[in-house]
Amino acid sequence: MKKISDFNGVCDTDCPVARANDIIGGKWTTLIIRDLLSGKKRYSELARSLAGISPRMLAARLDMLCGAGLVAKTVYPTVPPKTEYELTDAGKRIEPVIAAMAEFGSKLR
Amino acid sequence: MKKISDFNGVCDTDCPVARANDIIGGKWTTLIIRDLLSGKKRYSELARSLAGISPRMLAARLDMLCGAGLVAKTVYPTVPPKTEYELTDAGKRIEPVIAAMAEFGSKLR
DNA sequence: CAGTATCCCGCGAGATACTG
DNA sequence: CAGTATCTCGCGGGATACTG
């Protein structure tokens, strides 16, 4: 088990915590990941679950996550169209982060 | 052990993940917490470790964390002045989040 | 259904100078 | 040393309308 102090100190260029924050730091990213943790989801399912997100934002974050290799997108060229998003193996490594955040957040007054 | 799926679903009003994100979602917050995890720190120590942060930002984030009850501030009315910041018990509950982020971030290409 | 296309706005954040 | 005081700005993000 890695000690937290292993990650302490100056980290201007490449701190693991900073890099993680660059990915999941956005307003919606963690919520999208949370939704995808329970399995493959369609665009409209995510839009419904993430009440309040604009289509533009949802598309942008999903695009970023795909680009980072954390989410995979499958497009079915049917009419009407259907796309599905799911976490890649790399993306599933975010689960402990979300779980820890949920645990912390639930204890917040 | 809580299952991650317990945190899934619509969460417009009060999702634990969203609440945690509101706290640690900022650009510098996680890095400040990371530094404080190894113990009490002075303002200037933090400023040095967090290379690039402006005094205004550092003060603002520390103030927010104090307001949230996650960080405690001690001022020694000496000349020159000396202040120390440390995590409260509530603040220490963020450690698992930072640890998970570090773990995830270190595996990111 | 699954997005784009536009337009717009506020706030997070940076830079610099100054002070108790 | 430990901060404020100003000024500035980019971009994350929101709203709405439209389309393959």
DSSP B35-49: HHHTS-EEHHHHHHH
Kindly report the pTM of this predicted structure: 0.90
User: Which residue's structure tokens are 């060229």?
Assistant: A77
Q: Is the CB of A82 under 7 A from strand C?
A: yes
Mean pLDDT, rounded, for B59-71:
97
Q: Is the CB of A22 under 7 A from strand C?
A: no
Spanning CA of A98 to C1' of C8, the rounded length in angstroms is 33
Tally C-beta pairs within 8 A across A and B. Answer: 168
Mean pLDDT, rounded, for A28-33:
97
B57-60 long-range contacts (CB < 8 A, ≥24 apart) are B57/B28, B58/B28, B58/B32
Token readout for B105 is: 């971030």
Strand C nucleotides within 7 Å of a protein CB: 1-7, 12-17, 20
For chain A, domains (ranges, CATH) are 13-106 (1.10.10.10)
Element (H, E) at B36: helix B29-37
Mean pLDDT for chain B?
90
Spanning CA of B57 to C1' of C10, the rounded length in angstroms is 17
The answer to whether residue B34 scores a pLDDT higher than 50 is yes
